[in-house]
Amino acid sequence: MSVNAIRDDEHMQSVSKKATLTRLFRYLLAYKGPIVSVIIIMLLTVAISIINPLILERAVDVHIANNDFERLLKLGMFAVSINIIFVILVKLRMYLMAKISNHVLLTIRQELYSHIQKLSFNFFDSRPTGKILARIIGDVNSLKDVLSNSVTTLIPDFVTILAVVTIMIAKNWRLAMASLISLPIMALGMWYIETRSHRRWQIHRKKSSNLNAFIHEDLSGMRIIQSFTAEDETEEDFDQLLKEHRDSFMHAVILNDAFGSVIDISWGIGIICMYYTAIKILRIGSDNVGTLIAFATYISMFWRPIMNLSNFYNQLITNISGAERIFDIMDTKPDITDSETVIELPEIKGEVVFDHVSFSYDEDTKVLNDVSFRINAGETIALVGPTGAGKTTIVNLISRFYDIQEGTITIDGYDVKDVSIESLRKQMGIMTQDNFLFSGTIKDNIRYGKLDATDEEIIAAAKAVNAHDFIMKMEKGYDTELKERGAGLSIGQRQLLAFARTMVSMPKILILDEATSSIDTHTELLVQQGIEALLKGRTSFVIAHRLSTIRKADRIFVIDDGKIKEEGSSDELLAKKGLYYNLYMAQFKNL
């Protein structure tokens, strides 16, 4: 990489950091009143800390030198009093800033979570859940010290440095210059560290995300890992990620620790130069010991804020990459959004029309190619075909989880792009093979399909899919607490509960994507009876590899290579002896 390219990259990083910090600190503006109070408190504490060396100087050079112990006692009592006030003010400042920073973190986390829920499937398809979780938890938590110290460190320490330099110059400009002679050394060292440290922490954050993502995936798939006795291989992968995480941290923190060394060296040089100037050049004697002590104290007061600022900057470059990653997600636009002119979809009958629809997940391969069909309200349509033919894509497009590239999709004559997403999906019921059950009661899980559903509606939905009997056999019936993902229930029981959750919403259009694949044949017959009774007159799409479940469908679409190759009832398609006939015979010829 050329020198100019390196400079351009560093410039872009600097601009990015400034923009991120500006955006982050805007959250503090919502708390102007409390922050003003904190600033006033900090100015008072700075004033007290500035006064202390002057008190010490007067005590030594005036009261002790003149054996005036009465005034020395009064001065001591005054010093104790203002420093008690100092301690109280510091505690109050810490409380207020902790409260403000926690409120800001809560706001950021709420905004981030709310935004993530609006993002399209493409976002989740391309990112492991563990990495998303790391943004919401770890990256947001990392901002706490930055937000708090941005007020409690920057303002008072800058004020302290300016006040100390002003007093030192006013008292003795030559001693002041000698004390500050090492500033260029410090500036050069900090510039060198700053230009390299941020990138190292970015790498470490990425390694942390990779580790979180692996752990989340590993724990979620523990049953598979143990089933295939893959523990050793998984542990090797974990050890490698752990090593990369450790190495990236060491690589970053070694450079960060150099901040303190640079400050200490500069501080030491300043002290040596001050004493040399005072003793050898200015010939300061015993009459001005207090002044020398005050100067030494002021030098400490000058370098200590710089040390604090360097530590804050350390925190900043350590955690700014977390803020960048948070805002990167916040700036991610959903692929599927409502236009400004959308209308609310009225209650529908369920007519669905695909008019020359083409769709691809990427620019290379069309999943659907010029597909057209009309589904009348109340029809049951079965979609069959080989894996990857485009069956699930069709039902995903009806719910507008993705947008098509060509053609139109209408429901009761309304283009799905012209109605609000919420009003569209509220009238859909979607049931898939992999159904997620939340921690909570069985009743709460079923009610998730309709948040205002009554207990009677929940029970009716459960009875319709034959889930009521097994629910009532459980310890607390509908109030039984489920573990994460429904652990402890059979796969069939979990699917029956998911069926009840879908049924309770009374959808106008029902989508069943391999929804009965994990239910035994006897239970499936009972569920089919419930579905027929409950969804009479409703449009439904059924995807099933088990052809026995779709014989009663009004029409069957045979999907292959992104097109509808055959269409008709089961008997009609069998008579044609085409693709459907071959699929049917492959399943039943040996029965």
Return the domain boundaries, the chain: 29-330, 348-427+550-591
| Paired strand residues for 431 | 512
Which secondary structure element, helix H or strand E, spans residue 356, and what is its range?
strand 352-359
What is the pTM for the complete model shown?
A: 0.63
Distance from C-alpha of 545 to C-alpha of 387, rounded to nearest angstrom: 9
Considering only residues 210 and 425, tell me which one the structure prediction assigns the higher pLDDT: 425
pLDDT tens across 247-267, in order?
A: 888 877 777 667 667 777 777
Distance CA 215, CA 61 (A): 65
356 phi and psi, to 5 degrees? 50, 55
- Per-residue pLDDT band for 549 (boundaries 50, 70, 90) equals low
Instruction: Please tell me the class of the 29-330 domain.
Output: mainly alpha
Cα–Cα dist 280/100, whole Å: 51
Euclidean distance between CA atoms 582 and 586, whole angstroms: 6
Beta strands in 456-591 (DSSP E): 481-482, 509-513, 539-543, 555-560, 563-568
What's the pLDDT tens digit per position in 275-326? 777 776 766 655 566 677 777 777 777 777 777 777 777 677 767 777 888 8
**Residues in CB range of 445: below 8 A, 6 or more apart:** 437, 438, 482, 497, 501
Mean pLDDT in residue range 238-246:
86
Q: Which residue has the tokens 């009840």?
A: 500
Q: pLDDT over 70 for what percent of the chain?
A: 85
What is the mean predicted confidence (pLDDT) over 92-111?
Answer: 86
What confidence score (pLDDT) does residue 2 get? Answer: 39
How many whole angstroms separate alpha carbon 221 and alpha carbon 230?
11
486-516 tens-digit pLDDT: 677 777 778 788 888 888 888 889 888 876 6
Q: What is the mean pLDDT of the chain?
A: 80
Domain covering 348-427+550-591 assigned CATH 3.40.50.300 in the classification: yes
Q: How confident is the model at residue 354 (pLDDT cuts 50, 70, 90)?
A: very high
- Residue-wise DSSP of 88-125: HHHHHHHHHHHHHHHHHHHHHHHHHHHHHHHS-HHHHH
Strand partners, 304: none
pLDDT category of residue 397 using cuts at 50, 70 and 90: very high
| Helix 183-220 / helix 3-25 crossing angle, nearest 10 deg | 70
Tokens of 515: 């929804």
- Please state, in angstroms and as integers, the Cα–Cα distance from residue 527 to each residue in 297, 399, 507, 531, 533, following that order: 83, 24, 17, 6, 10
pLDDT at 26: 85
